[in-house]
Each structure stands twice: as structure tokens, then as C-alpha cells.
Amino acid sequence: MTSNGLDELELCSHLAADFTGDVETQYRRVVSWSVARHSNGRSLAKRRKVAAPTCGTCNITLVRPFVCLHCPYSGCWTGSHVVEHLKQSSHMFCVDVNSGAVFCSACDDVVHNHTLNKAYLESHLRAEEKRTVAKIPREPFKFWEPSADAEEVSALDGTVAIPCQGRRGLLNLGQTCYLNVILQCFVHNPLLRNHFLGDKHNHKLCKIQDCACCEMDKLFIEVYSDDTTPFGPVSFLATTWRKSTELAGYAQHDAHEFFIASLNHIHSNCKGSTNISCICVIHSTFAGQLQSDVRCERCSNVTSTVDPILDVSLELKEKVVRDDKSNPVLSLGACLRRYTQPEKLGPKEYTCSKCGKGSSASKRLSFRRLPPVLSFQFKRFEHKGSDKSASAKKLDSLVRIPANLDMMPFTTMNMKDNDKENTGPHIMYQYELFAVINHEGQMDNGHYTNFARFDSEWYRFDDDKVTHSSLGACLKSTPYMCFYVKKHLEYKPHITPTYIRTRETEAVRERALEREKEAARQKELDDALLATV
């Protein structure tokens, strides 16, 4: 909901005057209890241990409980018992536990204002953060507000608020739909958005030629401007052509190929980019670790290797169920289970390092470290034989993707019995969907579109056309790629972010170079003076 929409709903004078003190405290407790109720334990059986509230009038179990904010009463909405309680007790407010919406008995309506929304968000996030604590405590969530520091206040003087619409179509520049869908997914990636809108890279100050980070900065500036007409990413396309000749030209290209190329380009131009322990925005967002365990069946020796990953490619071979039209239907969960299940290796494929003989073995993949953003690609384009152009075909299998994804079953620690107790809070393995890419048509004559989430709304992007959609329509589509973001990011309390440490280190290095240059100039002057004496 926009801020203008909220202003139109701020009609309840009772909420503005009375939502303080014990009423606000009770509201925050209800929100925290709701979070605990829905996230207690890993299984439904453990969740049931949290007592379900009952109606104080008719004594039925409440699926959607309403709680009075002035006393411990809880009641049902369908039977109007909670409304009757408010009138009989001369109480003003009750709250819907599931949504946090507040009902005002004096206005006889659900009411909103900014203070209420802020209290709900703050209480909800703090309650969730308490459930993400393992051994290291986390810094509590708090809203950012300008401090009393004169420097910060003066920095905000004269600034102009820009519209945070973030929904701008991209022009097709000649079979460039593969580029448009990836750029839309970049724009709606919350971590990339925060990085580039946070002015971590300014294209006006950068001196690198054909810089992919500069193109990303320009892209975010255009998308988040007040211009709603479709934007043509001409310079982004030209930079890609110069840096990746295999993508040059107006032929059809694979969106996943462009995705990987773009990640490499942005990584190479980022500050903090290194070959070891890279802290650039790409690796901070997409990088994870995949562990491969090979177990020798002769001596039971296990050899483990860890490899970095930026995305996960899943095969579409296992037919699970069929829909009404007898089409094979898969699920993302089934693909991940197949991806991480043990695979048999023959004696000619593996030689044990311990017993030194070729023997049968089993190989199993697992996720050792999960990235903040998970990118999945479904292998829909199949090639048979050596001649790819003559034997290529597209797999049109339907794939069911969830709105929320639990990655704990596929992690290395969860697969090892002795490490299950060290997996940490279960909520830290939860992901939510924010973008999906679809491919329509065949390999030689196809078109890319995508869905993306902005705030709580879903939109469909077809090059320059942007239409309002829904999560249901997105989940029913045929995905080629899908993107998930962690619900709770891992961070330590009171730790200076890496980009600030990098910036401070570079500033110290630049000051040291300036001092050296100044000392060299002074030495030249002194030598010149001595020469004249």
C-alpha cells in the first residue's frame, strides 16, 4: 500500500489518541505470540503444542482469533462475540492475531495509521529475530531515523524524494528478451537493489571503461526514476557485447548464459573483488558452497570436496505425477531430492585414495553453505549427440515451485547424523520466492517473460509491457529460472559491514599515497633550493 493510500485511511482519531501505553504493549505482545505460534518447531506436531485460543463466549477453538487490546479476552469474529465484548466492556480496540489488523468499536471498522504499521513490523521482525539466535546473539532490529547529528541533518536538506515504484518495462532492442528478464530479476533482487540504491557504486565517479557496475547503477537510476515510459538498456547491451563476444549480435540467446556472464562482469568490476574470499556484491548475494562426498564401498573411506556455486542447475528427467492433460508434472522439491540423492560410481570411475584400488562408490551432493539468494535453472534444453543444432529439443515438463522453500533437508549438516544438533535455528533455512523467468515457444523460435514481486504485489514483465498479476499466476507458470531470497540473513551484532571496511582501507591507502607524493614534491623543492646555494 502506498503512503498516499495510508493517508486516506488515517480517519480514526481514536487510534491516533489511544494507541499508546498498555494498549500498544498488548498489541506488540499479540504480534510476538503470533510469530511464536507459527514458527514453533520444525514439524506440524511440534507447532500443535502451542495452545490454540478459544472464544471467551462460545468456547470454540479459534482458527482466526481476535484479541481485545484492553483485557485478556479472545473471541470469534464470525459470531460477532468479540464486537459484543468491546461494546459491553466499553473497550475500544481488538486485533486480528493472524494479520495484525486493528478493529475500532467506535468507528465500527478496521483502522490503520503509520504508527500502527510501524509497531506491527517492528514487533514481527524482532520476534522472528529472537528465533534465529544460535550461539551468537544478533543485533536487534530498529528502524533507521536521522540522528541529531548536524552533518546527517544537513545532508538531507534539499533532497528530493523519488518514487519507489520500481516497475518499468524494458524495450526489446532486437531479440533481447533474454536480457530484459535477467535485468528485471536484478532490479527486484532486494540485496542488489539495496546495494546500488545505497550508492555503493556511482557511475559518475567510476573511471573503469565498460564497467558493468556502472551499467547496473544507471539501470537502477532509470527504473526508480519518475519516468514510467519503457526504458531501452542500450548501453548495458553494448557493454555486454564488448565484454562477451559470444553474446554479441541480434541472434537469440539463452537467458541463463547471459545471467552467468553478467555475474562475472559485475564481479570483475566490483570493489573488493578477489579470487579468494571475495566480498563483492555478487558473491555476497549469490555465492554458496556445494559439498561432494564420495564413499568407497570397499573400505568405507569418505572423500569430501567443497566447490563454490553461484546457481544450481536441475535436471527434468524424473516424472513424478501427471496433470489432467497427462503432462508430466515435477516439483522443485523432487528435483532437489534427486540432485542430492546418492549416485552410484563404477570401478572405472573412481579410485579410492585410501585402499588405492578402483572400486564401486557412492557420490552425494549437499549444500555446505547456503547463499542469501538462491538461483535455480531447470535444464529445459536437451541436446543429443555431438551435433547440438540438429538434435536439440525443449522439455516442456511442468514444474511446481513453492512460494516458500525449506532448504534444511538438503544441507550437509542435516544429512550427517552427528551434525543435526548443530544445524541452528530452522527458520534460518527458509527462503521466499521473488522472481520467476519463463520461456515460451521452442528453442529456435522462443520468447522470455518473467514474474517479479514488488513489496507484496506480483507483476508480469513482457519486455515493455508491465501488468499486475498474482502469486497464483506466477506459481502456475512454467519456470525456466526461479529466484529465492533468505527470509533472515545471517549477520553478527555490532560488526562493521565489509564494504565500509573496504572503503575505509582504500581511504587510508589513498591518504598514504598523497603523503608520499607530497613528501616527494617537498624533497624536489629542497633539492632545488640546495642546488641554488
Q: Ramachandran region of residue 300, left (φ > 0), alpha (ψ -120 to 50) or beta?
A: left
DSSP conformational letter for 296: E
User: Do the Cβ atoms of 371 and 283 come closer than 8 Å?
Assistant: no
Residues written for the chain: 533
Residue type, 180: N
> What is the distance of C-alpha 122 from the center of its chain?
20
Q: Which residues of 410-448 are buried (b: 16+ CB within 10 A; e: fewer)?
A: bbbbbbeeeeeeebbebbbbbbebbbbbbbeeebeebbb
439/198 Cα distance (integer angstroms): 32
Distances (CA, A) of 136 to 121, 273, 372, 493: 24, 28, 19, 8
- Catalytic one among 14, 426, 447, 488? 447
137/391 Cα distance (integer angstroms): 56
Helix axes 234-243, 212-223, angle to 10 degrees: 160
Question: Quick count: other Cβ atoms within 10 Å of Cβ 46?
Answer: 10
181/452 Cα distance (integer angstroms): 10
458/452 Cα distance (integer angstroms): 6
Report CA dihedral (461, 465, 467, 471) to the nearest 10 degrees: -10
* DSSP-derived pairing of the beta strands 457-462 and 465-469: antiparallel
- Catalytic one among 55, 68, 94, 177? 177
Phi, psi of 154 (to 5 degrees): -65, -30
Q: In what order do the strands lie in the sheet with 343-345?
A: 302-309, 288-296, 361-369, 343-345
Active site residue 299: no
Active site residue 488: no
User: Do the Cβ atoms of 342 and 362 come closer than 8 Å?
Assistant: yes
H or E element at residue 431:
strand 430-441
Q: How far apart are the first and last CA of the chain?
A: 78
Enzyme catalytic residues: 177, 447
